[in-house]
Amino acid sequence: MKRIRKILLWALLLLYFPIMLSFVGEHQEAVVCRDVVVTVKDSADTRFVTGAEIREAVLGKYENTLGKELTSVSMFEIENFIKKHPAIKTCEVYQTIGGFLRVDLEQHLPLIRVFENTRTYYIDEDGQEMPVFDNFSARVLVVSGELDGKMDDLFRLARIFRNDPFWDAQIEQVYVKRNGDFVMVPRVGDHLILLGPPERVEEKLRNLRALYKQGLSPREWNNYQVINLKFKGQVLCSKKRNI
C-alpha cells in the first residue's frame, strides 16, 4: 500500500511540476519595467554625468521602456548606447525583482588636464584622451607648454603625484619649457619649482619634501621666487628681489 502511495505521489509531482514551470514562465513574461534606476559608482570623486542624466537619455532613446515587458527590453542595446558617452568607462544593465531595470556605471577618472595650442582635454588614469565637459571641471594636474614628445613623462609624473597625498595636494600645474625643463607650480607658496629634465624625479621630490618639512616654514615659502631641483644633490633657492 505504501509503495502505491509513493508511486501516486511521484506521478502527481511529475504532472504538477511542468504546470508550475509554465505558470512561473508566464508570470515572468508579464513583468513590466517599472523604472530605470541608475547608479554612478564613483560619483563622489567625478561628476561628469549623473544618474538622472543617464536615465533621461535612456528613456529619451527608448521611449517605450517604461511599461514594457522586461523580457522584451534589450539590455545589450542599452549598454552599448550608454557606453558611447565619452565619460563612461564601464556599464552594466540588468533586471531586478519587482520590474526594475538597473544600470551601474563607472566613469573615466581624469589624471591630467592638457592645454595644448587652442585645445584642452583630459588624459585619464589609463592614458586615454577624453574631452572636457561644461558641467564639471576635475581638480587634476594641469600641463601646458612645449608638450611634443613629453606626454609619457608627464603621465608618469602625474601618477607619482596622484599616489602621494602630499604632492597631489601641493602641485597644481607643470609647464614644459622650450629646452625640455619641467617647471612646477605649487598650490601653497608664491614660488616656482624648477624640476629640470624629467629624470631622477623621485630623488628631486625627496629633496623638495625635506626642504618643505625641515628647511622652510610655511611662512617662508612666499619669500622665494624659484626653488631649483635641477642639479644632482642640490636644492637652490632664489629669494625675491624685494626681500
pLDDT in the model for residue 42 = 78
Q: Return the minimum-mean-pLDDT range out of 9-18, 141-150, 175-184.
A: 9-18
Give me the CATH topology for the region 110-239: Rossmann fold (3.40.50)
Q: Are 116 and 145 in contact (CB under 8 A)?
A: no
Mean pLDDT across the chain: 87
DSSP assignments along 158-187, one per residue: HHHHHT-HHHHHHEEEEEE-TTS-EEEEES
Instruction: Give, for 143, the enclosing helix (H) or strand (E).
Output: strand 141-145
Evaluate if pTM is beyond 0.85: no
Q: Where in the chain is the domain with CATH 3.10.20.310?
A: 35-107
Q: Are 225 and 191 in contact (CB under 8 A)?
A: yes
C-alpha cell at 242: 624685494
Give me the CATH topology for the region 35-107: Ubiquitin-like (UB roll) (3.10.20)
Q: Where in the chain is the domain with CATH 3.40.50.11690?
A: 110-239
86-133 pLDDT, tens digit each: 999 999 999 988 899 999 999 999 999 999 988 999 999 999 999 999
Mean pLDDT of 121-150: 95
73-90 pLDDT, tens digit each: 899 999 999 999 999 999
166 in helix, strand or coil?
A: helix
C-alpha cell at 143: 600641463
